[in-house]
Amino acid sequence: MSGATGMPVREEWLLGISGGTALLFFFDGDALVADLSNPLWLALLLGGLRHREQQYNLQGANAYLSVIIPLAVFGLILPNFTVSTEGPTLFRVQEIFLVLMSLGLYGTFLAIQTNRHKSFFMLEDEGGEKDHEHRVTRSIPFHGALLMAYLLPMVYLAEKLALPIDHGIEILHAPVALGGVAVALLVATPESIGAVRAALANNLQRSVNILPGSVLSTIGLTIPAVLTISLVTGNPVVPGLQNADFVMLLLSLAVSVVTFASGRTNVLQGTVHLLLFLAYLLFIFAR
């Protein structure tokens, strides 16, 4: 079982730490919108084309969305409507509450995923049970060591890639948001490959564990990480999404709820998420 147990804290804030004490941190909501549609569309579309219709555990999908939606609303939408501070920002007490709430929700989710309700994240069938019986189970320290071995070079490479990406954006006069998208796609590539391979093998449940799990760990860990750095350094955070990004996030969340509402998917859901991702790319260049 894979999914939210991974910990891909977004590298954008790590890249920004070296920018100086006057740096204004921006939470990368664009990356979240990208994650909600890409690579989800590819897994659903290719899986639907090959197998016509695929199944997943509805309880597990609903568990992911029940945590993703409030975190996205509190972290990226609500700051636009608070009046205790100027602009789409949060007051210090609100930031502390959001940190604790994010960690609490994410920790509770991990508890039900890995212990109390494991069955929500598995599709019951005879073949799956047999495979599970012969699967070698590694210890938590083993997985923790692998996680650190994955994160450290990823953060290092992300920092090294920041300079050529920024230089390329400046030379081409491309939108600044394109840099965050480039890093987000780079980080999500291994998960995307795993999810697409699982969907092609008619194991959509694994794809559901990987993709919404990636979105959940992204927002559930990035919010407290960014806000904690802001509280420690005194640099303000501007988390609220504006204009087209605001609408795209709401639309992506709504479509995701509809996609994971029946326990079955086909090419239609994949096509809808593909169009969302194309629209997202369009609005990066044409606001």
Q: What is the pTM of this model?
A: 0.79
pLDDT score recorded for residue 182: 75
pLDDT score recorded for residue 134: 56
- Under a CB-based contact definition with an 8 Å cutoff, are residues 275 and 42 in contact? no
pLDDT tens, residue by residue, 229-255: 888 887 777 777 778 888 888 888 899
| Residue 129 CA: distances (Å) to CA of 116, 173, 198, 233 | 18, 54, 17, 50
Mutual orientation of helices 267-285 and 243-259 as an angle, nearest 10°? 170
Residue 142 in 3-state DSSP?
helix
| Mean pLDDT of successive 10-residue stretches along the chain, which has 287 residues | 43 37 41 62 90 92 92 88 82 90 92 88 62 61 76 72 80 79 74 89 91 84 84 79 83 90 91 87 80
Q: For 88-99, give the DSSP string.
A: S---HHHHHHHH
Residue 19 identity (one-letter amino acid): G
Q: Does domain 12-285 have CATH number 1.20.1420?
A: yes
pLDDT score recorded for residue 135: 60
pLDDT score recorded for residue 102: 92
How many whole angstroms separate alpha carbon 188 and alpha carbon 238? 24
Give the start-to-end residue ranges of the domains of the chain: 12-285
DSSP structural state of residue 25: E
